[in-house]
């Protein structure tokens, strides 16, 4: 528990931002009655496994901690650091934390996605804080 508060309150670099987003996702899942589990290995292609009572889902957590610029209408988030992306067998969903909105966009992995643009008015607005994994 002490680690959570350290991550939440310290001056965060990008690695700590990622850890912070993963912990925020786990807390949100618990608040909603969804059980999160973290892999022991740092080499898994997913960050969290969730059990919503129906089945297990592999989640890759991403984040954007930037402020919105004056003429900016959305946040661009890189979903992968390599050209291969994540297959549907490796990751079921992306949980993308946008600090500006203080919430997550839950996006189903359609395979080999590299980037996504998110805002509360665009085509992905319906996925904001939608933790109903079985309804996708």
Q: What is the CATH number of the domain that holds 86?
A: 3.40.1350.10
| Nearest alpha carbon to residue 129 among 41, 3, 27, 14 | 27
**pLDDT over threshold 70, residue 4:** no
Q: In this predicted structure, what is the pLDDT of residue 106?
A: 97
Give residues with Cβ within 8 angstroms of 79, minimum separation 6: 60, 62, 85, 86, 94, 96, 113, 114, 115, 116
Look up the domain containing 13 and give its range. Answer: 2-135
**pLDDT over threshold 90, residue 9:** no
Confidence at 7, pLDDT banded by 50, 70, 90: very low
- 100 token code pair: 């500006």
pLDDT in tens, 33-42: 999 999 998 8
Q: Among residues of the chain, what percentage have pLDDT more than 90? A: 68
The whole-angstrom separation of Cα 76 and Cα 29 is 24
pLDDT in tens, 73-82: 899 999 987 7
Average pLDDT over residues 115-131: 94
Q: How many domains does the chain have?
A: 1
């Amino acid at each position: 528990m002490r680690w959570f508060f350290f991550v939440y309150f310290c001056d965060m670099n990008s690695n700590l931002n990622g850890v912070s987003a993963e912990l925020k996702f786990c807390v949100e899942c618990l608040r909603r009655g969804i059980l999160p589990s973290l892999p022991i290995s740092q080499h898994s292609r997913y960050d969290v496994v969730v059990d919503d009572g129906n089945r297990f889902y592999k989640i890759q957590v991403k984040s954007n901690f930037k402020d919105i610029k004056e003429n900016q209408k959305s946040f661009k988030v890189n979903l992968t650091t390599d050209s291969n992306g994540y297959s549907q067998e490796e990751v079921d969903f992306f949980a993308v934390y946008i600090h500006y909105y203080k919430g997550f966009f839950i996006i189903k992995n359609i395979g080999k996605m590299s980037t996504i643009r998110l805002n509360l008015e665009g085509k992905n607005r319906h996925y904001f804080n939608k933790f109903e994994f079985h309804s996708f």
